[in-house]
Chains A and B, each alone.
Chain A
């Protein structure tokens, strides 16, 4: 019930295309859903985050879509660029954290944007 399932595992997109990464969760107590971007040799960097009272949040080329009833959320990267090539992680947390931690992460999606 504490898992966050992320798909696809890897994604290849042409420059200028749209990258879409999906996540699903079971625990209805989750109330915070961030996306992190990680480049090789670096720590994860917060990209964008959303709470369940909002169905969509946009920051620049990055958009989170949130479907509370389906318990799913997704990251859309518009006009994908080679510099976006990285591993993306979705995550979720519930108030107080608990033994599973403040953040429960998906397994990650390795995005490759071809020039």
Chain B
């Protein structure tokens, strides 16, 4: 089975812009979770989608949003980018169990 894929792998944006990241889960996985990884804060949970519905949400501002499509692919959007949004954004997919499989991430740099 193919693993979790994320596109694009690298992004450079400027403050105030918005960005959309994409994640394709492992075939058959219906749950997609997003995490932000930074050197200072480590891995922090953003949100989880299951069958097109947001099931859990972390403590991030409303500028961070996401959605899931009927084929389980997911996108996350960050509006009005800030310098502090520079991070590695990771997507993880799972079935209905706890085991999560991570993609390679999208490295976002905000200038």
Contact = CB atoms under 8 A, between A and B. Distances in A.
The reply to whether chain A is a binding partner of chain B is yes
A73 interface: no
A46 B101 contact: yes
A89 B104 contact: no
Interface of B: 4, 31, 33, 35, 42-46, 48, 55-59, 90, 92, 94, 98-105
A46 B45 contact: no
Name which of A45, A96, A99 has the most chain B CB atoms within 10 A of its CB.
A99
Q: What is the interface residue range for chain A against chain B?
A: 20 to 34
Q: Is the interface of A mostly helix, strand, loop or mixed?
A: loop
Contacts of B4: 43
Nearest to A6: B42
A17 interface: no
A63 interface: no
B43 A89 contact: yes
Given A89-B43, A97-B56, A102 B102 contact: no
